[in-house]
Amino acid sequence: MVVLPFELERKIFEVAVLLHPECALQLVLVAHYIREWVEPEIYRVLRTGGGRVVPPIYKEDYEDEEYPRPPRELDVPGLQRCGPHVRHAMLQDCSWKEIVVVLQHCINVQNVAIWSPHDHSEALAQSAVAALEALPCLRKLSFEPLFFFPGNLPIPFDIPMFKNITHP
């Protein structure tokens, strides 16, 4: 039996997941240490909105497009597990409270898009601003300016929310 060097074995599994992400869920079943290598790739992208939420961050997931949807409850332990691995987050069709909780758990996110929040209010939007300001790795931010800055005022790019942004 040939034993591969540890670094080479890890590289093989990382490349396999990058080339065939649909196989990642099967690869995590191979061994515990392989799960530690592959799991971050599974949770790299978080998407909410219509259809299936990936990864599943709610306690219940609505497969059908039932409107109006009953209120969803975030799966906080699940967010604690997957949140640190998230690098890209598209948060759409969810409440400001959900957006804030997700951002608080996705501490390493680099790219955030926030579209169509449900319960718009200036106070809730400001709590999202505070959550965005606390993200040290955030580089790209996409959002509808009117949700954060009501009126036709120019966007104040000098506020702390934009301190690390390279692509607004």
Reported as a single tens digit per residue, the pLDDT across 107-155 is: 999 999 998 777 777 777 788 889 999 999 999 999 888 777 777 678 8
Cα–Cα distances (Å) from 59 to 22, 51, 53, in that order, read 23, 15, 11
Q: Residue 69 forms beta bridges with which residues?
A: none
pTM for the model stands at: 0.80
Reported as a single tens digit per residue, the pLDDT across 22-79 is: 888 898 898 999 988 888 888 899 988 766 667 778 876 555 555 555 567 888 888 9
Q: Which amino acid is at 53?
A: V
Contact 86/68 with Cβ under 8 angstroms? no
Residues ≥6 apart with Cβ < 8 Å to 136: 107, 164
Q: Residue 141 forms beta bridges with which residues?
A: 112
